[in-house]
Chain A
Amino acid sequence: MSEQAPLLVVNDLGHMFSNRGQKVRVFEKCNFEIAPTQFVAVQGASGSGKTTLLLACGGMLEPSTGQIRFQGNDLFSLPSSRRTRIRAVSIGYLFQTLELVPYLDLTANVRIATGVSSSVANQWLDRLGLGDRCRSYPRELSHGQRQRVALARAIAHEPALVIADEPTGNLDSRNSELVFSVLKKYAEDGGAVLMATHETQPAAFADFVIDIENLDLLKATVR
């Protein structure tokens, strides 16, 4: 465990949604902390709630129960404008569905993250193997390439926390290693990373693993 003050503190988090009049519980009593330099993996079967947990931690989905403190602030007791500001400056999010803006070229897609200049955007694209495609549009890229653009957008403004939802989902092994190495290096340089993954052995690269289907065990082992 890191000895620095925690960046993200998750207390008794639970979420449920309504489906045709019935309440469906996604997860409950989720507790963990992430400190700067930590690389944390979230593991679980498809539909187990990994994306929901990540969205809540990113301040984008209000959980049904519990509390998320980010940099000391209770995220969902803040006004939405403050939450937006926190997302702009301190959180980078890589969506599972990528969500690139179709009418912007790759440089511009990275630049919509707050305060990113063209040269910084291009440096990140170059680092992720897309240096020669900066003027291309998302529709001209393969899924794997788009995934790397989304990573560049999540990371280019150097947020305190990068949240990545299955960032290697459709990548070949070479590109998967590239993405892991970038995220790992980001954590080593002072950032924190929270990543959902379908990798079978996340413990091989993560400081700790949240098994969303066994949150009690997590509580016992992490806190």
Chain B
Amino acid sequence: MFGIVEFMNPFFLALRELHYRWKSGLVFVLVVASVTGALAYFSVNDASFQKEIGRNVRDIGSNVVILPSAVDQYSYHLEGGYSEITMDANLVSKLIEHRASLNHLIPMLERRAKCSTGDRQSIGRVVGLSASIAMPDRPKAPMQRSIPAGELQLGSELARELGVERDAKAQVTIAGEVYKVQRVNRSSGTWQDSAAFIDLVSAQEIFELPERISRIEAIECTSEQCEASGLQSSVILNNEIEKITDKASFLRKEEMAEARLSVRSVSRENFLVLQNVLWVFLGFTVLGLAILNSLSRKSEIGVLQAVGYGRYRIAALFLVRSLLLAGMGAAVGVTVGMLVSVEQANDLFVMTGQKSSLDWNAAMTIGGVAFLLAVLGGCMPALWAAGENPADLIGRDS
């Protein structure tokens, strides 16, 4: 079957041994496949979960508001989060330029103004806003899409005041400009229910406030810096904004921000614990099975030494075995684990599940660690045993 020279090399001896003891080999492959499969499953699952959590917390809304520094916060809150003081719109560019720890920046300009439709009219909060702007190094799907010029979104209560039905075609006039109602928003239980939303440039034109904005809403991205520096998020943001401008101050929606941080960190830590447990289990499994194999074959190591096999040749025999089995187990486990996880993502993660994909980095890492463990588990005990006197090994299988 094999040539004279090759037959007795460690690779072919390992194949012969595996063929003979296929059941123990199968157990090794299955155990490694199970653990690596679980790791691969949770790696993909974790990424999908983080995406889903990210989307959900994003949809909660902005948790940071940047206001002109001249705004008196007492009056601002007294007015229900409203102020007519404005600031320069290029603050958005400055925040981006300085890579502030923010994302999804939405500059807004608002005024209370008369809104009318046919024979009905009412005062509403008219808010001009642009699409949310992502930081260049933190690209995300937009949290707020742009509103086309000449169109308008109506808050549910303002729509009721103006007699605009939810799905009806209607037009609303604001400061002499006519806007087509794009949609009537569902009730949010906030001031937004009595607002009308148009695009920022249109608002700047009708209120004659070019390049001015009332505020910037955003989401803070300070969790990594908080972990690294031990500082609170508000301190980090305050320091950053102070360095950029003295004409703005920020307001943090504490409960919302803390809830967002908490959800993210709890989910991340939860997965981290699970993954660490699986890594340790993978280590014990591959090392344990490989060491057990070497110990249970002490006699054989002794015989191979007796007939002249050197320690490295003996170690190679065990190394080949461990690598073949760990390689097969990891390949099967990682493939199955990832495919199952991607398949399940559609059901588990309603909003982002379809974006779930195979994680090749995780696959390489898991495979690489299994490979290294197999090398250690296969080589070390065999090298140790091969360094003993043959007489101390023969008849000493554990």
Which residues of chain A have a CB within 8 Å of any CB of chain B? 55, 58, 60-62, 80-81, 84-85, 87-89, 93, 95, 97, 99, 101-104, 108, 111-114, 117-118, 137, 153
Contacts and interface: CB of A to CB of B under 8 A. Distances in A.
Contacts of B305: 60, 84, 87
Given A87-B307, A89-B308, A153-B307, 7 more contacts: A61-B391, A80-B387, A87-B306, A97-B395, A103-B17, A108-B7, A112-B307
B135 interface: no
Nearest to A154: B307
Nearest to A116: B8
Contacts of A104: 13, 16
Top-5 shortest CB links A-B: A88-B308, A103-B20, A61-B391, A60-B390, A55-B391
Nearest to A107: B7
B394 interface: yes
B7 A62 contact: no
A194 to B, nearest CB: 15
B168 interface: no
The A interface is mostly helix, strand or loop, or mixed, namely loop
Interface stretch (B99-107, B125-133, B216-224, B296-304): B296-304
Contact of A84 (B7, B303, B310): B310
A99 B302 contact: yes
B4 interface: yes
B21 A114 contact: no
29 contacts: A55-B391, A58-B306, A60-B306, A61-B389, A61-B391, A61-B392, A62-B389, A80-B311, A80-B387, A81-B310, A84-B305, A84-B308, A84-B311, A87-B305, A87-B306, A87-B307, A88-B307, A93-B306, A97-B394, A97-B395, A99-B300, A99-B302, A99-B303, A99-B306, A101-B300, A103-B17, A103-B20, A104-B13, A108-B16
A153 B8 CA distance: 14
Interface string B7-20: 11000010011011
B309 interface: yes
B19 A103 contact: yes
Given A80-B387, A84-B309, A112-B304, A103 B21 contact: yes
B391 A101 contact: no
Interface string B301-324: 011111111110000000000000
B344 to A, nearest CB: 41
A137 B20 CA distance: 10
B116 to A, nearest CB: 92
Contacts of A61: 389-392
Contacts of B19: 103
B299 A99 contact: yes
Nearest to B393: A60
A77 B309 CA distance: 19
A95 B307 contact: no
Contacts of B13: 104
Nearest to A139: B20
Interface residues of B, number: 28
* Of B302, B305, B311, B391, most A-chain CB atoms within 10 Å: B391
B298 to A, nearest CB: 11
B308 A117 contact: no
Contacts of A87: 305-308
* Of B8, B387, B390, B394, most A-chain CB atoms within 10 Å: B390
A97 to B, nearest CB: 6
Contacts of B7: 108, 111
B308 A102 contact: no
B280 to A, nearest CB: 33
B230 to A, nearest CB: 55
A205 to B, nearest CB: 25
* Of A93, A103, A104, most B-chain CB atoms within 10 Å: A103
B16 A113 contact: no
Contacts of B300: 99, 101
Contacts of A85: 308, 310
A117 B4 contact: yes
Nearest to A119: B4
A7 B165 CA distance: 112
Contacts of A99: 299-300, 302-303, 306, 394
Contacts of B16: 103-104, 108
A95 B394 contact: yes
A104 B300 CA distance: 12
B391 A60 contact: yes
Interface string B151-174: 000000000000000000000000
A114 B389 contact: no
A58 B8 CA distance: 23
A102 B20 contact: yes
A153 B307 CA distance: 9
B390 to A, nearest CB: 4
A216 B8 CA distance: 45
A69 to B, nearest CB: 18
Nearest to B300: A101
Contacts of A80: 311, 387
Contacts of B389: 60-62
Contacts of B309: 84, 88, 112
